[in-house]
């Protein structure tokens, strides 16, 4: 049986970032096992690194800089310089600009398949990381001092700490009976890369419509990455429709800010639920990223919250390595839980409130949110906290 300091299950955005963050922050390299079920990072169906593009906030970019990873992201990112938030067919409109915030970009869009490649190379080049792939966790047993893990490829390992970074339905959490709560938004997100007559040139849009929010993020080759939220039934008919019908429906929902929509690329569908675990730590165990909470993508907060989990955990582990030595000690987990409580709760409830508020077509709600958007635009004391959170400038 091979012994490790840390075993990380899942090498998606959260798990892979954690392994690399530990390499950067720990004074003496820890022995790390990374266990990933899905082998081919070039496959667009990879659950962690599929064809999606996601927005990394200004704060996330700063974390990646601190971890010496940003340099590798740079060739693949598109800057976001403007974010416009509006309610379809109504007056309310709020605008956040990099110029006003005196930064070169509010955030960046990155295509996940590029990140998958960067991360896989970095993990394979780390001599202290053993990368078990493809492999799953068959059985977990905890003793006072260790976690014993049986892998699906027959390998047996033991570790001081087990980190679940295996996504929303986390089998590791299930095996340890860590309860999962779910709120179904009764919507799905249709995603696609879209070409438009006017190039986005750094402009991102979040627009609320009667069916749900639609977001356009500027991406490579002058395209926009679109997250288009709607009820399942409408998504089914969009997925079955021809290109022209899809373009017309999207143009109707999004409007003409980027001129005519000329092409909609391959579409994919994601169910939208808030999934979260109230308790993310237990004896020699912690869940991070989507395994801890999976958010609605409405405000692009999922990984931006997940990376704050990851950095706080890596910092606590690095500190414990220097003091107690046992990186799975419960006092470390307890400090980590306390540090993350407020940000997690606030971001989860903010995202859910946005979905409820902006999916409601009751006249009072419509008036309320339009007044709200105008107030955000014109009252700096209301706008500033929202701008800070959008930019990921959040206390950890």
Nearest to ligand FAD of 155, 370 (CB atom): 155
Q: Is 48 one of the binding residues for ligand FAD (CB under 6 A)? A: yes
The beta strand positions in 112-245, using DSSP E, are 129-132, 137-142, 147-151, 156-164, 181-196, 203-208, 213-218, 224-230
Q: Is 55 one of the binding residues for ligand FAD (CB under 6 A)? A: yes
Which of 4, 7, 10, 122 is the binder for ligand FAD (CB under 6 A)? 10
256, two tokens: 């003409």
Q: Is 63 one of the binding residues for ligand FAD (CB under 6 A)? A: no
169, two tokens: 């339905």
DSSP secondary structure string, 15-79? HHHHHHHHHHH-SSPPPEEEE-S---TT-TT-SSS-S-EEEEEHHHHHHHHHTT-HHHHGGG-EE
Which of 158, 171, 253, 316 is the binder for ligand FAD (CB under 6 A)? 171
Selected range binding ligand FAD among 7-15, 61-69, 73-81, 199-207, rule: CB under 6 A: 7-15
**Taking the complex as a whole, how short is the minimal distance between the CB of residue 276 and ligand FAD, in angstroms?**
12
Q: Is 193 one of the binding residues for ligand FAD (CB under 6 A)? A: no
Span 215-234, contacts to ligand FAD by CB under 6 A: 227
In angstroms, rounded to a whole number, what is the distance separating the alpha carbons of residues 378 and 384? 11
Q: Spell out, one character per residue from 120 to 159, where the chain touches ligand FAD: x when CB under 6 A holds, - when not.
A: ----------------xx----------------------
Which of 59, 92, 167, 200 is the binder for ligand FAD (CB under 6 A)? 167
Q: Is 306 one of the binding residues for ligand FAD (CB under 6 A)? A: yes
Q: How far from chain centre, in Å, is Cα 104?
A: 22
**Taking the complex as a whole, how short is the minimal distance between the CB of residue 9 and ligand FAD, in angstroms?**
5
Nearest to ligand FAD of 270, 375 (CB atom): 270
In angstroms, rounded to a whole number, what is the distance separating the alpha carbons of residues 88 and 110? 27
- The sign one gets for the Cα dihedral 355, 200, 307, 385 is negative
- DSSP 8-state secondary structure symbol assigned to residue 220: G
- Cβ 56 vs Cβ 31: under 8 Å: no
Q: Is 300 one of the binding residues for ligand FAD (CB under 6 A)? A: yes
Helix (H, G, I), strand (E, B) or coil at 168: coil
In angstroms, rounded to a whole number, what is the distance separating the alpha carbons of residues 135 and 172? 13
Provide the 10 A C-beta neighbour count for residue 243.
10
Strand 281-282 with 82-87, pairing: unpaired
Nearest to ligand FAD of 168, 333 (CB atom): 168
3-state helix, strand, coil in the chain (%, to 5): 40, 30, 30
Span 260-289, contacts to ligand FAD by CB under 6 A: 270, 289
Nearest to ligand FAD of 60, 321 (CB atom): 60
Nearest to ligand FAD of 213, 306 (CB atom): 306
Nearest to ligand FAD of 26, 164 (CB atom): 164
**Taking the complex as a whole, how short is the minimal distance between the CB of residue 221 and ligand FAD, in angstroms?**
18
Q: Is 302 one of the binding residues for ligand FAD (CB under 6 A)? A: yes
Which of 23, 120, 209, 290 is the binder for ligand FAD (CB under 6 A)? 290
**Taking the complex as a whole, how short is the minimal distance between the CB of residue 38 and ligand FAD, in angstroms?**
4
Strand 129-132 with 107-111, pairing: unpaired
In angstroms, rounded to a whole number, what is the distance separating the alpha carbons of residues 35 and 132? 5
The residue count for binding ligand FAD (CB under 6 A) is: 35
Element (H, E) at 287: strand 285-287
Which of 25, 33, 36, 147 is the binder for ligand FAD (CB under 6 A)? 36
Site of interaction with ligand FAD (CB under 6 A):
9-15, 35-38, 47-48, 52, 54-55, 136-137, 165-167, 171, 189, 191, 227, 270, 289-290, 297, 300-304, 306
């Amino acid at each position: 049986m091979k012994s490790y300091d840390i075993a990380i299950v899942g090498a998606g955005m959260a798990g892979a970032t954690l392994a690399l963050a530990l390499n950067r922050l720990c004074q003496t390299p820890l022995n790390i096992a990374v266990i990933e079920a899905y082998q081919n990072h070039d496959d667009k169906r990879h659950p962690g690194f599929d064809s999606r593009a996601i927005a990394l906030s200004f704060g996330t970019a700063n974390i990646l800089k601190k971890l010496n990873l940003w340099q590798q992201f740079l060739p693949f990112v598109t800057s976001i310089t403007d974010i416009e938030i509006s309610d379809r067919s109504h007056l309310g409109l709020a605008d956040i600009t990099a110029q006003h915030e005196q930064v070169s970009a509010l955030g960046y869009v990155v295509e996940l398949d590029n990140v998958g490649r960067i991360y896989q190379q970095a993990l394979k080049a780390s001599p202290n990381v053993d990368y078990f792939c493809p492999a799953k966790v068959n059985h977990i047993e905890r003793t006072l001092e260790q976690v014993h893990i049986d892998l699906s490829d027959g390998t047996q390992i033991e570790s001081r700490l087990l980190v679940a970074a295996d996504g929303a339905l986390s089998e590791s959490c299930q095996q340890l009976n860590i309860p999962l709560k779910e709120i179904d938004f009764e919507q799905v997100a249709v995603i696609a890369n879209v070409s438009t007559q006017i190039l986005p040139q750094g402009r991102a849009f979040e627009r609320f419509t009667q069916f749900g929010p639609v977001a356009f993020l500027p991406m490579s080759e002058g395209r926009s990455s679109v997250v288009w939220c709607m009820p399942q039934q409408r998504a089914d008919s969009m997925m079955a429709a021809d290109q022209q019908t899809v373009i017309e429906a999207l143009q109707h929902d999004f409007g003409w800010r980027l001129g005519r929509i000329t092409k909609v690329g391959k579409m994919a569908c994601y169910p939208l639920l808030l999934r979260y675990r109230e308790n993310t730590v237990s004896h020699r165990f912690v869940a991070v990223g989507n395994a801890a909470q999976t958010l609605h993508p409405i405000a692009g907060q999922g990984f931006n919250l997940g990376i704050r989990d990851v950095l706080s955990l890596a910092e606590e582990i690095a500190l414990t390595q220097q003091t107690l030595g046992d990186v799975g000690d419960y006092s470390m987990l307890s400090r980590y839980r306390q540090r993350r409580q407020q940000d997690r709760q606030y971001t989860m409830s903010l995202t859910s409130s946005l979905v409820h508020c902006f999916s409601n077509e009751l006249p009072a709600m419509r008036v309320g949110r339009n007044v709200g958007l105008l107030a955000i635009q014109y009252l700096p004391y209301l706008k500033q906290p929202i701008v800070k959170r959008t930019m990921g400038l959040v206390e950890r």
